[in-house]
Amino acid sequence: MNNAAPLSSGDYADAVATATRAAAAYYADGTTTLGDDEYDALVRAIAAYEQAHPEEMSEQSPTGKVAGGAAEGDVPHSVPMLSLDNVFSGEELADWAASLERRLGRAPAGWCVEPKLDGLAVAARYEAGALRQVLTRGNGLAGEDITHTAGDVLGLPAVLAEPVDVELRGEVLLTHAQFELANEIRTAHGAVPFANPRNGAAGTLRAKDRPYRIELTFFAYDAVGLGGADGALAHSALLERLAALGANTAAATAAAPQRCESVAEVQRRVEEIAGMRAALPFGIDGVVVKADDAADQAQAGSGSRAPRWAVARKLAAEHKVTRLLAVEWAVGRTGVIAPRAVLEPVVIDGVTVSFATLHNPADIERRGLMLGDRVFVYRAGDVIPRVEAPLVEERTGAEQPIVFPSACPRCGEAIDTGEQRWRCVRGRNCQAVASIIYAAGRDQLDIEGLGSTRAVQLVEAGLVRDLADVFTLTREQLLSLERMGATSTDNLLAAVETARSRPLNRVLCALGVRGTGRSMSRRIAAHFGSMAAIRAADAETLAAVEGIGPEKARLVVSELAELTDLLDRLAALGVGTQVTAPTAPAPVPTAEPAEGAEPPAGGPLTGEAVVVTGSMSGPLAALSRNEMNELIERAGGKASSSVSKRTTLLVAGEKAGSKRAKAEELGIRVLDPEQFAALLADHLPVAA
Ligand code: IVH
């Protein structure tokens, strides 16, 4: 991806024109006609061509400019606001460090490694500690006066802690939370949402006379007038000084700037910061490595575009541009009709993305999307990719409106469009088949013989409309079905009989109530002890269950109310009627919430917080993860899915990966499945 294809001389002129256009849009208002990765690749191809053909170098070339591109703004900068050279891999970073060492004739006295904040550079001028003027970077030599926005920028104080004359330099951005809020505010005012945080920050900084205000955040990473490149302060000391003056710096974040003594240490910190990218509350597009000492910086000096003592190790873009080919409408288990974008496949951070969520119809309208649009797609960490916004300026006129369904795509019934999320009016009955398959699944009622083929057959024959009907099936009815012999019939009837007495948590889970997966069902069941008590609970009572907030409690109560009829019939059929001693009224938990039900006291795992990873073997080989968790809870422990400081025991089977490593790092006791089974011998399910 980063190895640019060689350009021919005709392509060179085109490439320069394209890059110039993209840079102009980027620096003017933060919009872009190219994704970051594409822009970087283009500039590299241009640079490679120029190296081979220096005589043909165009004056317009982005490689020689301070900032690459025209921009508005006429207030000269005190000293140019430089850019950074980029490297794209650990090797390139090592090469860069080696070349700096050659230039200095020694290793730099130290390095500083910090996040490359994905926003816009600004300069904030203070006189006697009072903020006087804020400028955009513009073309690097002169910028635009945006002092009017200063009041909306967190981290850029109106008055510093000392009455100094100084120009702070840093990045203004929208944190993820500020971005979400900004788009809520904008849509409430009928404005189109921002495509991404960077575009939002750019638009906000330059906007005048908006009827609403949007809050931004400033991070300082440089200053003119306090030392630094030509003064006495090392970069890391400069950052501390900026923070002491009251400016916000990245020091307060997990990706805090760190002084490193060796290139190996630099590489480690770069990887660390890259690894925490998805979890940071703001976007970064790389990691910046700087020679820390002022003397080293002064000796290395700067080119016209970028300093020689600093470099950006770029990370793959999380926002990419691709084409929206189609919109599919999928009906979920509960009847929710959700739009999904079909995309021209695009690689985002090493993963090929062909589908992305579009949330709901209102969201499609808010974003003004059309079929055939070039769109921004965002993917970070493990999140589901999402379509952000169309590149409206790139429309050709061939784009088509997105057609919303007028009837349920699955059953043809009407759609309830009263909420943001559309639902089939039949709700979960629309998905009778899917609901039955789910309910019969291994972690729910575990009805062997009731897989998808059988479920479709039963629903299509009109024998089953919902879960309760499964428990009324007769031998004659089943025998009347195609491919249903006496043996399969008797086996299925026996499996249904076994399912009739499944414990409460399994029955609750089988209902597919939104907001209650396996572990939540276990918790609710243990808390209340009976289906009658669960059904009698109001939102407040339900919220006493660990991990249920007021919103989820309301959702569960309304879902259960919707299921009244089904629950009455199930009860009459003896399904889910078991009663156990409730753990409620439970004391309000004072510790942090943990996963898993309130454990019964006295088992071998009392007081233990247990995580299971890898594949189970020995007596536990046949157990699903849910069954393992049930076992742990029966034995008095708490089951959880992730290793943390609170974990006391890890059961690690074969192919245990990062959880095992983390547990070992934290000094947590690790048992293999056989050892664990021995510990729990009395609680193991009796083999069939
Ligand atoms: S240092 C002379 N440090 O990245 C020093 N820049 O691609 C020049 N940026 O124009 C900048 N985080 O807008 C520096 N920690 C950081 C940065 C950073 C983001 C931006 C800045 C710069 C651009 C270059």
What pLDDT is recorded for position 477?
Answer: 96
pLDDT at 440 over 80: yes
Which distant-in-sequence residues (6+ apart) come within 8 Å of 45 by Cβ? 4, 5, 6, 7, 15
Question: For residue 224, what are the β-bridge partners?
Answer: 167
Listed in sequence order, the residues at least 6 apart from 17 whose beta carbon sits closer than 8 Å to its beta carbon are 60
Nearest atom within ligand 1 for CA of residue 229: 2
Ligand 1 atom 16: the closest Cα is on which residue?
A: 116
Cβ-contact 174, 89 below 8 angstroms: no
Is 655 noted as a catalytic residue in this protein?
no
Q: What residues line ligand 1, using a CB cutoff of 6 Å?
A: 82-84, 114, 116-117, 121, 171, 221-222, 288, 307, 310, 312
Between the CA of 173 and the centroid of ligand 1 the distance, in Å, is 13
Site to probe by mutation for ligand 1, drawn from 79, 221, 282 as the one with most ligand atoms within 8 Å of Cβ, is 221
One-letter amino acid for residue 627 of the chain? E
Dihedral, CA of residue 623, residue 629, residue 632 and residue 636, to nearest 10: -150
417 close to 356: Cβ distance less than 8 angstroms: no
Nearest atom in ligand 1 to the alpha carbon of residue 285 is: 19
For residue 424, say whether it is annotated as part of any ligand binding site. Answer: no
314 is in an annotated binding site: yes
Residue 83 CA to ligand 1 center (angstroms) comes to 6
Position 600 scores a pLDDT of 55
Predicted TM-score (pTM) of this structure: 0.61
Q: Pick the catalytic residue from 116, 320, 552, 659.
A: 116
- 517-536: per-residue pLDDT in tens? 899 999 999 999 999 999 99
Q: How far apart are CA 601 and CA 448, in angstroms?
A: 33
**Are 324 and 341 a contacting pair, CB within 8 Å?**
yes
For the chain, give the percent of residues with pLDDT over 90.
64
260 is in an annotated binding site: no
- Atom nearest to 121 CA in ligand 1: 13
Mutate which of 27, 63, 84 for ligand 1? The one with the most ligand atoms within 8 Å of its CB, which is 84
CB proximity list for 617: less than 8 A, separation 6 or greater: 653, 654, 672, 673, 674
Residue 38, annotated as binding a ligand: yes
624 is in an annotated binding site: no
Domains of the chain (ranges plus CATH)? 9-64 (1.10.287), 75-314 (3.30.470.30), 319-416 (2.40.50.140), 426-499 (1.10.150.20), 500-588 (1.10.150.20), 592-688 (3.40.50.10190)
Q: What is the predicted pLDDT for the residue at 27?
A: 60
> How much is the pLDDT for 30?
53
If residue 133 lies in a helix (H) or strand (E), which one and from where to where?
Answer: strand 130-136
Choose which residue among 77, 88, 116, 136 to substitute to test ligand 1 binding: the one with the highest number of ligand atoms within 8 A of its C-beta. Answer: 116
| Mean pLDDT score across all residues of the chain | 89
- 503 contacts: CB under 8 Å, gap ≥ 6: 525, 578, 580
Which is higher by pLDDT, 684 or 187? 187
Whether the pLDDT of residue 186 is over 60: the answer is yes
Above 80 in pLDDT, residue 685? no
What would the DSSP string read from start to end of 336-356?
A: EEEEEEEEEEEEETTEEEEEE
Segment among 124-133, 159-168, 371-380, 432-441 with least mean pLDDT: 432-441
Report the alpha-carbon distance of residue 541 to residue 553 in Å, rounded.
8
CA of 460 to the centre of ligand 1 (A): 63
| Interacting residues of 89 by C-beta distance below 8 A, sequence separation 6+ | 2
Q: Are 648 and 607 in contact, with CB atoms under 8 Å apart?
A: yes
Q: Letter for the amino acid at 41?
A: A
- Of the two residues 206 and 85, the one the predictor is more confident about is 85
Residues in Cβ contact with 368 at an 8 Å cutoff, skipping those fewer than 6 apart = 192, 390, 392
Tell whether 290 is in a known binding site.
yes
Q: How far is the CA of 304 from the centre of ligand 1 (A)?
A: 15
At residue 599, does pLDDT exceed 60? no
Tokens of 484: 């249903």
Short-list 452, 450, 454, CA closest to 483? 454
Mean pLDDT to the nearest integer, 450-467:
89
Using pLDDT thresholds of 50, 70 and 90, give the confidence band for residue 231. low
User: pLDDT tens, 544-591?
Assistant: 998 899 989 999 999 999 899 999 999 999 999 988 888 765 444 433
Q: How confident is the model at residue 34 (pLDDT cuts 50, 70, 90)?
A: confident
Dihedral of alpha carbons 242, 224, 72, 283, sign: negative
Answer yes or no: is pLDDT of 32 > 70. no
CA of 314 to the centre of ligand 1 (A): 11
Query: Please, which pLDDT band fits residue 38 given cuts at 50, 70 and 90?
Result: confident
Q: Count Cβ atoms below 10 Å from residue 48 Cβ, excluding itself.
A: 16
Q: Is the pLDDT of residue 65 over 60?
A: no
CB 80 within 8 A of CB 87: no
Query: Of the given ranges (43-57, 186-200, 614-628, 674-688), which has the lowest mean pLDDT?
Result: 674-688
pLDDT score of 683: 78
Ligand 1 centroid from CA 174, angstroms: 16
Nearest to 513 by CA among 564, 444, 559: 559
Please give the distance, rounded to the nearest whole angstrom, from the Cα atom of residue 564 to the centre of ligand 1. 60
Is the predicted pLDDT of residue 251 greater than 80, yes or no? yes
36 labelled binding-site residue: yes
Tell which wins on pLDDT, 628 or 595: 628
pLDDT tier for residue 601 given thresholds of 50, 70 and 90? low
How confident is the model over 210-233, as a mean pLDDT?
85
Amino acid letter, residue 402: I
